[in-house]
Amino acid sequence: MILSFLLTGFIKNILIILLIVLVHELGHIFFLKIFNYEILKVEIFPFGGVTSTEKLINSPINKDILIYMGGIIFQIILYFIFSFLYQKGYILNSTYQLFIMYNKSILIFNILPIKPLDGGEIFLLILQKFFPYIKTLSIANYISIIILAGFILYNIKSNLNNFIIIGFLLYKIIDFCRRKEYFKNKFLLERYLYNIPYKKIEHNGGQDFNILKKETLHFFKSNNKYIHEKEILKQKFDINSYF
């Protein structure tokens, strides 16, 4: 898409798109830095970017929501900056209209509840406030597939760029589905290795890891007494428990 824009003289278009994408990713980086999370890399695509970070799955939900909202917040700020510059006569009407079109398109696209878009991540985090973590992975995957199917039908006669986007999203959904067991084990291992500050405490019968929730400490009932979840997780992860 970038090459086609350059060859056909639409340099202003690609510069505006790249500006919006960069500002969007800066929004994520801003909040990641505030919460002292390590940033691994930032990838820029014509339709958006991906900021990879090293943080716990069990990190606070509200912090994670704010991180994923960062791109949207910064795009809104950029809109007000462009509107101010346009009103002051520093930006041509044609440039301003291009910015409005691209900023709106990228914003709407990113809030779709499809993994790994910001909307998909925020939707997943909201689910995790109410449902067990492992169950939310399945729900988010099903919703992503349904929304993507609708997106494909809506763009069935669209341009090459949208088909590239669809291919990217389809690959990410399949990859997310394949890695479900990895996310599950990482979630459980974190709870065993780290002293995570929990907001709630739940007492449960049986020993089912599938009911564990983020921000919630679980005790399991065994022989008429409740056992800390770490004692149960120790049987799964501590190599010494096998000898």
Return d(Cα 122, Cα 118) in angstroms, integer: 6
From the candidates 25, 38, 43, 229, which is the catalytic residue?
25
Tokens, residue 219: 């005790």
25 noted as active-site residue = yes
Q: Minimal CA–CA distance to 84: which of 69, 99, 73?
A: 99
Tokens, residue 165: 């986007």
Tokens, residue 130: 């109410």
| Spatial contact of 226 and 219, defined as CB atoms under 8 Å apart | yes
SS3 content of the chain, % helix, strand, coil (to 5): 65, 15, 20
Q: Minimal CA–CA distance to 207: which of 218, 217, 198, 197?
A: 218
**Segment holding 193, helix H or strand E:** helix 180-193
Please, what's the largest Cα pairwise distance for the chain? 76
Strand 200-205's sheet: what is its strand order?
A: 200-205, 216-222, 225-228
Known catalytic residues? 25
